[in-house]
Structures are given as structure tokens and as C-alpha cells.
């Protein structure tokens, strides 16, 4: 097709509206089944909602509200065109917007997956980007509930900066970050915000931090009545509260003690495992025996858990700083076995790198699950992720890890999974862990992440069609001289046996692609399954172009024919791009 002909083809936008000719045959058949004389009445629409959409509680009033929402049309019912438009509308989403927070929020914090950021102050890569309060604000607005701040003495040693230590990142003042957290903490969610501090301060500067924190947050700062808690409080009891988590104070260790090793380690090769959208999420089938050598040799030395509790010297500590700490962190002496021991009288937080967790999971999977039933486990990216890429979060979640810490300033498939997980439970940043991760059997047994499980349910997905690219993209974005050739990838991110990706055929030269393809996904652990959806534009000579993505928590997915909005690589919702899909469980 010539460029001139192509331009003429798009002069009239009406061609790209949802037209009856584009409606999949199944949609037309359903309309005729639930209508008379080309009109679907209120009672027939209600029956469609109950029988096809599996909305068992749908009432005549609900059906009438749908009809009323489609303005300028017949109040007595829907014709095929308006029915088709309804199916593609925001009134027919795969997750129920009005559901809101519906999990039991009165259990201890250790019973929840918590939306967790890593190096939350960085604007870009881990080595040379600016430190700022802006990414903190963006994270809080997205619903992130755990903000990490690395605190260091400023250049003159008389105040406190936030920066990624021993790198070229430019610092930002701590007070600026604290004020940003106070202002934006509860804009999206009223559930508690945890600030994890990676502390590199002298006792006098720790005292200064204590003063800043108490003056900034005042009454909303949660201070426990005792230094150690037998059980964590609940998210419900901590609504609109700020919680500090770090190791108890120790004498300040000059950075030069590990500067040499730190400088050498920063020359490691960046993993770039999800640069843009190109490479897929690392598979646990291949990755559970990951070689720890490609992490920074001494990366733990730069983590807040770096010093054994028994070695800490407290005679110069700032008591007011210690009093701030509600969630105590620390690695006991004796290796990973000691770290995972459960103290019946005290709860705590433990941090492991992604590689440490993968290594421990090979032989200690059940011990990790047992630890996380009462205590909090934080998993953080390995030090070679210079580009702010991320890892497979399912490794942490299937072992009960509450704080799977991600670089929210990056983007890519791993981060899309994180966005998808925390669409659950009203997007409040807390998702109750499945019961099997919380229960102990009669013989003190716990869930075994390595156990071979039977299929609990099967998710059947029909990919009908897509629309909206014509309005949200430049008309030459995908191809200079012809309409795009879209295909859809659909699959599951979950435990290893459930994880799979499939794809449709590419539909050539069409802004309104219709695939009508069916996929089935047997699920052994649907409670941890995330439905992955991506659209790409096939390019024979170059890398395929990106056309949108979303990730949906399977356990909250609505059955029936649904309009699925797609998002950009950075997780921003497109104005118009949607897929029409059918979800069935059996």
C-alpha cells in the first residue's frame, strides 16, 4: 500500500469506531440468545449478567443502571451496537472497582504481602542518577507502602543526606524526603507506611534523625510501648500511621572499611534482565540454583542488616533513635539457619538478597515459610542490577516473604507483576497471604514450596479482539506505510508448575485486530497466579513493537466477557487501548 493511499484510508475516523461488523461471532450469538426482536430488555440483560458474566447477585436495578449509563439510547434495552459498546466499556472491567479493601485487615502485619520499594529515592539507575523526593511521591501515589531511605552524613558531617552510598548519585536532604512522605503517605491508601532506614550515621546524627522524625510525623508516628513485640500489630490498628524499621543503633563504621570492596563491586555487569520489555521474567524452573557469584561479593555489607546483633556496641548510641524503631531488623550470628529461627517471644525483620533467598530456598524452603508466618522477610535486588531492573517476585511470595522490594523507578516485566499483584484488595498496598502460607498442620508441618501439587482449577481465556491504538498512538508509530500487525501474548506468572506464556497469531494490517483464540491454564496454586497479557506488533525485519500490557490477580478476576484496559511500559494506563476477553473457571 502506498503512503498516499494509507493517508487517504485514515482520513475518516468513523472507520475505526467499534462497528457491528467487527463484533466476534460469539458476541452476536449471545446477543440473539438474550434478546427478542433485536432488543435486549432489562430482564434479559440481568439474566445475561447472572448466567454468562457469573454475577449471581446482579439485580434488575443493576441491569437498568447499565442501560441508563449508555446515554442517548433506548431506555427499555440494548440493541446489538449498544450491547457491544457496553462490553467494551469501563462498566465491564475484569476487576470490580467498587470492591475496595475486602481482605481481613485485623491480622498481624506478617500475614500480608506489602507493596515494597527499594532505594525509593533514586530517579534512575543505581550508580549515577539523582536522589530526590519525586520518586518517593510517585511510589506513594501508586500505593507503595514501604519506602527505603539510605541515610548518610552530609559533606560537612553536621546533617543527614539520603543517597546510594559509594556511588555517584547526588544526595537529597533527609528532611525533604520525610516531609514528602508525610504529605503523600495516605493519598492513595490509609494503611500504614513503613520507612526502612539503611543507617550509616554516628550517634549524634542518629539523635538528629530522631528529632527530625518525631517533629515531622508527630502523633502519626507509631512508637511501640516495649522495645520488642511478641506479635506485630495489624494494618487496621495502624491506619494512617508511620512505622520506622531498621537495625538497633550501633557505633558508626566509617565507609572506608568497605569502600575498597564496594568500589570493586560496582564494576559488576548490569543484569538488565528486563530492559524495556524485551527479556522475560526469569523462570524459577531455571533459576532456583542461581549462581550467587554474579551478585556483589559483599553486598550485605551495604545493607541495613550488615552487623551481627551480638557485636553491636551500644555505649554511644542515641536512645531516642532506638525508641523510634517499631520493626527491628538484624541478622543473628551463625548463618542462614540461625537467621530463620523463630523466637516465640520476639518478632523481627530479616533481609535477604534475591540470590540469598534463591540459594536458601533450595534446601530451606519450609523453614523460610515457617519464619514468615510470624516474622517479616524482606527480599531486595542483587547489587549488580545497576540499571534498576528487578527479579521474579514469585520466588519471595511463594515462600511467604512480605516485603519483596522492587526498584519502582525502573520498568519491565518483573515490575508489571508487582503492579498486578497490588491491584488486589482495592489497591491499598496490603494483600493478605493465602491461608496455606499461614497455617501449621497437626504435626507442625507447613507449606512446602517444592511439593508437587494437583490442579485446583483451570482458567480458560478467550482473546476476542482489541481496539484503541488508533487513538492513543501516532498512525505511523508501528509501521510507516501500513496498519499494524498485532498479536497478543497471554499466560500465567505463578509457582513454577503454573508459569507459562502463549500467543495468538498476528493479524495483518488492522487497527481493530480480531483473534478469537482460546487458551487454557491449569493452576495448582491459583492463590498466587497472575494473568499476564501483552500486545505486540509483529515486525519482520526489526524488534517487535510494544502495544500494551497488563497483569491481573487471578484470584480477583471476574468471570465472563470483560473489557481489559492496557498499560504502557511504565505502567501508565492508556486512554483507549483495550482487549475484549472471556474468562472462565472450571
For residue range 248-264, list pLDDT tens digits in order.
886 334 333 433 333 33
Which has more confidence, 316 or 444? 444
Q: Are residues 228 and 359 in the same domain?
A: yes
Query: Can you give the pTM of this predicted structure?
Result: 0.89
Closest CA to 282 of 369, 364, 386, 358: 358
Domain stop point among 393, 408, 435:
435
Torsion, CA 300, CA 303, CA 304, CA 308, rounded to 10:
10
Residue 75 inside a domain? The answer is no
What pLDDT, on the 0 to 100 scale, is given for residue 312?
42
Q: Are residues 330 and 416 in the same domain?
A: yes
Q: Are residues 184 and 325 in the same domain?
A: yes
Q: Are residues 413 and 493 in the same domain?
A: no
Q: Are residues 421 and 456 in the same domain?
A: no
The model's pLDDT over 544-577, given as tens digits with 9 standing for 90+, comes to 999 999 999 999 999 999 999 999 999 999 999 9
Q: Are residues 474 and 548 in the same domain?
A: yes
Domain stop point among 435, 460, 488:
435
Measure the CA–CA gap between 131 and 470, rounded to whole angstroms. Answer: 38
Asked if residues 219 and 172 have their Cβ atoms less than 8 Å apart, the reply is no
102 catalytic? Reply is no
pLDDT tier, 73 (very low <50, low <70, confident <90, very high otherwise): low
What pLDDT, on the 0 to 100 scale, is given for residue 20?
65
Residue 241 inside a domain? The answer is yes
What pLDDT, on the 0 to 100 scale, is given for residue 285?
54
Q: Find the helix packing angle between 174-184 and 203-217, rounded to 10°.
A: 30
| Sign of the dihedral through C-alpha 529, 569, 388, 138 | negative
Q: Are residues 494 and 410 in the same domain?
A: no
Asked if residues 403 and 165 have their Cβ atoms less than 8 Å apart, the reply is no
Residue 99 inside a domain? The answer is no
Q: Are residues 474 and 325 in the same domain?
A: no
111 catalytic? Reply is no
What pLDDT, on the 0 to 100 scale, is given for residue 363?
95
In the predicted model, what is the mean pLDDT of residues 296-302?
Answer: 36
Q: Are residues 210 and 184 in the same domain?
A: yes
Domain stop point among 380, 409, 435:
435
* Res. 290: pLDDT tops 80: no
Residue 86 inside a domain? The answer is no
* Res. 21: pLDDT tops 80: no
In the predicted model, what is the mean pLDDT of residues 458-467?
Answer: 97
The model's pLDDT over 105-142, given as tens digits with 9 standing for 90+, comes to 999 999 999 999 999 999 999 999 999 999 999 999 99
pLDDT tier, 316 (very low <50, low <70, confident <90, very high otherwise): low
User: Within 10 A of 73 (CB to CB), how many other CB atoms are there?
Assistant: 16
Q: What is the CATH number of the domain that holds 541?
A: 2.60.40.150
Which is catalytic among the residues 102, 103, 111, 164?
Answer: 164
Burial 104-117 (b: 16+ CB within 10 A, else e): ebebbbbbbbbbbb
Residue 293 inside a domain? The answer is no
Residue 353's Cα: distance from chain center in Å?
A: 18
Q: Which domain holds residue 508?
A: 452-585
What pLDDT, on the 0 to 100 scale, is given for residue 250?
62
Which is catalytic among the residues 72, 74, 102, 118?
Answer: 118
Provide the percentage of residues in the chain whose pLDDT is more than 90.
Answer: 77
pLDDT tier, 226 (very low <50, low <70, confident <90, very high otherwise): confident
Mean of pLDDT over the chain: 87
Residue 245 inside a domain? The answer is yes
Residue 87 inside a domain? The answer is no
The model's pLDDT over 405-441, given as tens digits with 9 standing for 90+, comes to 999 988 899 999 999 999 999 999 999 999 999 999 9
Which has more confidence, 388 or 264? 388
* Res. 585: pLDDT tops 50: yes
Q: Are residues 426 and 509 in the same domain?
A: no
Q: What is the CATH number of the domain that holds 371?
A: 3.20.20.190
Q: Are residues 477 and 427 in the same domain?
A: no
CA distances from 563 to 376, 381, 402, 463, 572 (A): 37, 34, 31, 11, 17
Residue 150 inside a domain? The answer is yes
Q: Are residues 414 and 473 in the same domain?
A: no
| Number of independent structural domains in the chain | 2
Amino acid at each position: 500500500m502506498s503512503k498516499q493511499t494509507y493517508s487517504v484510508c485514515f482520513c475518516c475516523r468513523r472507520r475505526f469506531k467499534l462497528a457491528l461488523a467487527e463484533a466476534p461471532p460469539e458476541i452476536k450469538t449471545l446477543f440473539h440468545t438474550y434478546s427478542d426482536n433485536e432488543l435486549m430488555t432489562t430482564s434479559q440483560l440481568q439474566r445475561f449478567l447472572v448466567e454468562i458474566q457469573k454475577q449471581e447477585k446482579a439485580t434488575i436495578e443493576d441491569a437498568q443502571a447499565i442501560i441508563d449509563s449508555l446515554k442517548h439510547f433506548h431506555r427499555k434495552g440494548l440493541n446489538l451496537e449498544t450491547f457491544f459498546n457496553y462490553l467494551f466499556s469501563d462498566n465491564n472491567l475484569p476487576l470490580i472497582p467498587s470492591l475496595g479493601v475486602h481482605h481481613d485487615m485485623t491480622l498481624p502485619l506478617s500475614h500480608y504481602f506489602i507493596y515494597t520499594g527499594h532505594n525509593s529515592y533514586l530517579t534512575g539507575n543505581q550508580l549515577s542518577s539523582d536522589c530526590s523526593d519525586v520518586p518517593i511521591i510517585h511510589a506513594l501515589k501508586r500505593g507503595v507502602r514501604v519506602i527505603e531511605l539510605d541515610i548518610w552524613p552530609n559533606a560537612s558531617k553536621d546533617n543527614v543526606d539520603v543517597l546510594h552510598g559509594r556511588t555517584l548519585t547526588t544526595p537529597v536532604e533527609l528532611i525533604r524526603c520525610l516531609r514528602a512522605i508525610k504529605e503523600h503517605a495516605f493519598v492513595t491508601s490509609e494503611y500504614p507506611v513503613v520507612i526502612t532506614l539503611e543507617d550509616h550515621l554516628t550517634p549524634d546524627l542518629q539523635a538528629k534523625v530522631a528529632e527530625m522524625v518525631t517533629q515531622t510525623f508527630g502523633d502519626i508516628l507509631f512508637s511501640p510501648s516495649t522495645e520488642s513485640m511478641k506479635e506485630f500489630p495489624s494494618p487496621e490498628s495502624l491506619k494512617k500511621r508511620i512505622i520506622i524499621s531498621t537495625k538497633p543503633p550501633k557505633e558508626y563504621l566509617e565507609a572506608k572499611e568497605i569502600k575498597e570492596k564496594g568500589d570493586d563491586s560496582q564494576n559488576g555487569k548490569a543484569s538488565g534482565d528486563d530492559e524495556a520489555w524485551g527479556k522475560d521474567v526469569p523462570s524459577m524452573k531455571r533459576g532456583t540454583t542461581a549462581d550467587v557469584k554474579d551478585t556483589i561479593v559483599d553486598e550485605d555489607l551495604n545493607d541495613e542488616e550488615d552487623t551481627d546483633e551480638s557485636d553491636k556496641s551500644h555505649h554511644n548510641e542515641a536512645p531516642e533513635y532506638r525508641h523510634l524503631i517499631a520493626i527491628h531488623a538484624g541478622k543473628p550470628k551463625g548463618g542462614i539457619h540461625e537467621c530463620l529461627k523463630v523466637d516465640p517471644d520476639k518478632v523481627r525483620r530479616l533481609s535477604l538478597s534475591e540470590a540469598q533467598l534463591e540459594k536458601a530456598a533450595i534446601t530451606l524452603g519450609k523453614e523460610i515459610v515457617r519464619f514468615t508466618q510470624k516474622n517479616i522477610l524482606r527480599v531486595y535486588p542483587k547489587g549488580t542490577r545497576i540499571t534498576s531492573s528487578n527479579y521474579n517476585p514469585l520466588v519471595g511470595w511463594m515462600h511467604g516473604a512480605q516485603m519483596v522490594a522492587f526498584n519502582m523507578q525502573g520498568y519491565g516485566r518483573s515490575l508489571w507483576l508487582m503492579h498486578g499483584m497490588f491491584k488486589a484488595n482495592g489497591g491499598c498496598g496490603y494483600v493478605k497471604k493465602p491461608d496455606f502460607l499461614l497455617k501449621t498442620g497437626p504435626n507442625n508441618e507447613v507449606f512446602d514450596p517444592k511439593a508437587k501439587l494437583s490442579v485446583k482449577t483451570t482458567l480458560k481465556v478467550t482473546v476476542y479482539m482489541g481496539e484503541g491504538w488508533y487513538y492513543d498512538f501516532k498512525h505511523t508509530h508501528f509501521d510507516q506505510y501500513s496498519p499494524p500487525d498485532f498479536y497478543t501474548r497471554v499466560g500465567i506468572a505463578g509457582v513454577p508448575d503454573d508459569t507459562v506464556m502463549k500467543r495468538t497469531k498476528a493479524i495483518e494490517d488492522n487497527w481493530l485486530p480480531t483473534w478469537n483464540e482460546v487458551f487454557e491454564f491449569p493452576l495448582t496454586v491459583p492463590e498466587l497466579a497472575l494473568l499476564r497479557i501483552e500486545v505486540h506488533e509483529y515486525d519482520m525485519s526489526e524488534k517487535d513493537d510494544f502495544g500494551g500490557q497488563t497483569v491481573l490477580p487471578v484470584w480477583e478476576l471476574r468471570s465472563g466477557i470483560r473489557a481489559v484496559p492496557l498499560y504502557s511500559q511504565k505502567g501508565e494506563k492508556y486512554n483507549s487501548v483495550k482487549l475484549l476477553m472471556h474468562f472462565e473457571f472450571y
